Structure 1
Amino acid sequence: MRVILCPVDFSENSLKALEYAAAIAAQTQTKLFILNKFTLTGGEKVESSDSIFDESKEEAEDKLNELRNIILTEYKDLQVDVSVTYGIEPSQVILDFAEDIKADLIVMGTKGAGGFKEIFFGTTTTSVTSKASVPVLAFPVAAKPHLPKSIVYATDLKWEDRAVLHPLWNFTISLDAQLTFLYVAKGEEKGVDAIRNEMESSEGFNRIKTTLKVHFAEVKSNDVFGAIQDYANETNAGLIVLGNHEKNYLEKLRKGDLTRLMTMYTEVPLLILHKSK
């Protein structure tokens, strides 16, 4: 990784996500970008030349520079840049900025869906997760901003899941963490041993196996979301990883449902890796 983007709106969950992003950036020696999409009080419609626009932008810049100074107090050698932008749709602003700076990872806070509107339309984090072409890490407000020592990758290890093995390996080894492949079985589906045998012929898995100590685990449940959460909590996992792509075994109801649910309700930091990357 070379660049991590962390959007903040100065809420508690976004600031905790920033703390987590800074820790990852320091561990991986990666540049950190902090982005704020500022808003105008009272809903005024203004042009970029208006004084209220300038005042709002300057206020956001001052807050970002203060955050930057706090981070550099703890991580003196970390490269930290800040940027303020004004836009209508938060998720699109984030995605456009991520593309401009060629971000390798987006870290965002998530506090869960609080009502019908958020459940129906989705939060900004779920929107970014569903549209981004780079990995997105959702950090729940209740989590501790500590680097993970144990990572759980929930998958059935089918062919399409092999596309995420390289970024999974890179992320795990960069954080010096242990890796567990978790298989959630429903009914009489094939067991984890058969799954493991199928995967061992993959070049990506061979790289993982020769450089990391990998564990395999299987749980039987009709509730895939609950099973992943329970396993992560029971084993004190610091990070859950999902592969987001078409025909994912974990997307049982419709494409993207599990990823959406996990992003909104996860109690453990969640990393979404995309097939295209």
Structure 2
Amino acid sequence: MKNIMIPTDFSENAWNALLYGISFFEKTHCVFHIVHVSSMNTNASGETPMYISPEILEDSLLKESIGKLKELLERIQQLPLNPKHKFETVALYGFLTDHLKKEAKEREIDLIIMGTKGASGLKSVSIGSNTGNVITKVPCTVLAVPENSTYHRPVEVGFPSDFQLKYNVKILDTIRDLITLKKSSLRFLYISAKGEELSEQQQKNKQILADYFKDIEQSFHMITGKKIDAAVQCFAESRNLDMLVMVAKNLNFLERILFRPTVEKISYHTKIPFLVVHE
């Protein structure tokens, strides 16, 4: 039985992430924990807001959230019934990442699935601030599903790595379980700034990955280029990737791929789901 958490803001983007998760785990016994976290909106008009006590405000927002979650469950019930799936809802008030950390621990969550809605310009932060915060601050594996992504079996999964770190078994187990579940192929990508060879330690880490995933169809690729995001874009297009896997432990490398798109041609953020694995 897997415990899957899906944060929602009741947008179509969040609904798309939910549909993706339901389809991805169609043959797996799952409990989907649908969580909505209400936070106090800042007053953008510049006018002095009418004072409302925090208790009354929280109670009002929670009642509204509970009502919307009930409507969401009714919408889910219109989908084809899958007896392997169970849905639970949670309405909370406060800071998103704080609550998700707590809920993930208490509910023994295996995976968080979130929709990503990028900024209007791809030169801006294009994965979305909420999703970015959850990826970097909540110690749980996250599957980020772009708003323009629809589910199909991930045949080709890309795994960009600089081979600088030795990943622990828990990280590799998580990746292998999802790869095996979908009978996917794993394509490792090393991006070299100047075409330099791997160091001895990088060679060892690369071999560990090759050995660990020896029972899965795999291949290793190298692209020379200074711009990591552009290199990932080129690789994603050339291999027609269905998903990208990253490891949160390698935060600097992760941020250069997910949070710093520098050219308008970077479109993998808007199409390809990202699996970010935590220890």
What are the within-5 Å matches in structure 2 for residues 127-146 of structure 1? 127-146=133-152
Give the Å deviation of 1:199.
Answer: 2.8
Give the Å deviation of 1:138.
Answer: 0.9
- The alignment of Structure 1 onto Structure 2 pairs a total of residues equal to 261
Q: Are 1:206 and 2:205 matched, yes or no?
A: no
Give the Å deviation of 1:188.
Answer: 3.3
Give the Å deviation of 1:55.
Answer: 4.0
Give the Å deviation of 1:196.
Answer: 5.9
CA 1:81–1:236: 2 relative to 1, 3 Å:
same
The equivalent residue for 2:259 is 260
In the alignment, the residues of structure 2 paired with residue 87 and residue 50 of structure 1 have an alpha-carbon distance, to the nearest angstrom, of 6
Q: Give, as a single letter, the amino acid of the residue that structure 2 aligns with 1:180.
A: R
After superposition, the CA RMSD in angstroms is 3.3
Q: Are 1:150 and 2:159 matched, yes or no?
A: no
In the superposition, the TM-score normalised over structure 2's length comes to 0.80
The equivalent residue for 2:11 is 11
The equivalent residue for 1:234 is 238
The equivalent residue for 2:68 is 60
The equivalent residue for 1:76 is 82
The equivalent residue for 2:219 is 215
In the alignment, the residues of structure 2 paired with residue 161 and residue 232 of structure 1 have an alpha-carbon distance, to the nearest angstrom, of 23
In the alignment, the residues of structure 1 paired with residue 166 and residue 75 of structure 2 have an alpha-carbon distance, to the nearest angstrom, of 40
Q: Give, as a single letter, the amino acid of the residue that structure 1 aligns with 2:193.
A: K
CA 1:27–1:182: 2 relative to 1, 3 Å:
farther
The question of whether the paired residues in 2 share the 8 Å contact of 1:152 and 1:182 is answered with yes
**Secondary structure of 2:135's partner?**
helix
Which of 176, 194, 207 is 2:183 aligned to? 176
**Structure 1 residue ranges, 4+ long, deviating more than 6 angstroms after superposition:** 39-43, 48-51
Give the Å deviation of 1:260.
Answer: 3.1
In the alignment, the residues of structure 2 paired with residue 155 and residue 33 of structure 1 have an alpha-carbon distance, to the nearest angstrom, of 31
In the alignment, the residues of structure 2 paired with residue 177 and residue 205 of structure 1 have an alpha-carbon distance, to the nearest angstrom, of 15
The question of whether the paired residues in 2 share the 8 Å contact of 1:113 and 1:265 is answered with no
CA 1:27–1:155: 2 relative to 1, 3 Å:
farther
Give the Å deviation of 1:147.
Answer: 3.1
**Secondary structure of 1:151's partner?**
strand
The question of whether the paired residues in 1 share the 8 Å contact of 2:34 and 2:89 is answered with yes
Give the Å deviation of 1:38.
Answer: 4.3
CA 1:198–1:241: 2 relative to 1, 3 Å:
closer
The equivalent residue for 2:196 is 189
Give the Å deviation of 1:235.
Answer: 1.6
In the alignment, the residues of structure 2 paired with residue 229 and residue 162 of structure 1 have an alpha-carbon distance, to the nearest angstrom, of 27
Give the Å deviation of 1:191.
Answer: 5.5
Unaligned runs of 5+ in 2: 44-48, 262-266
CA 1:7–1:257: 2 relative to 1, 3 Å:
same
Identical residues among aligned pairs (%)? 22
CA 1:243–1:58: 2 relative to 1, 3 Å:
closer
CA 1:271–1:49: 2 relative to 1, 3 Å:
closer
Structure whose residues are more often helix by fraction: 1
Point out the more displaced range, 39-48 or 223-232.
39-48
Q: Give, as a single letter, the amino acid of the residue that structure 2 aligns with 1:217.
A: H
Q: Are 1:47 and 2:55 matched, yes or no?
A: yes
Unaligned runs of 5+ in 1: none
The question of whether the paired residues in 2 share the 8 Å contact of 1:151 and 1:238 is answered with yes
The equivalent residue for 2:46 is none
Q: Give, as a single letter, the amino acid of the residue that structure 1 aligns with 2:269.
A: T
**Secondary structure of 2:75's partner?**
helix
1:208-229 deviations in Å (ceiling 9; x for gaps): 11x2111111111111012112
Q: Are 1:86 and 2:89 matched, yes or no?
A: no
In the alignment, the residues of structure 1 paired with residue 75 and residue 6 of structure 2 have an alpha-carbon distance, to the nearest angstrom, of 12
In the alignment, the residues of structure 2 paired with residue 247 and residue 126 of structure 1 have an alpha-carbon distance, to the nearest angstrom, of 12
In the alignment, the residues of structure 2 paired with residue 128 and residue 184 of structure 1 have an alpha-carbon distance, to the nearest angstrom, of 26
Which of 251, 271, 275 is 1:271 aligned to? 275
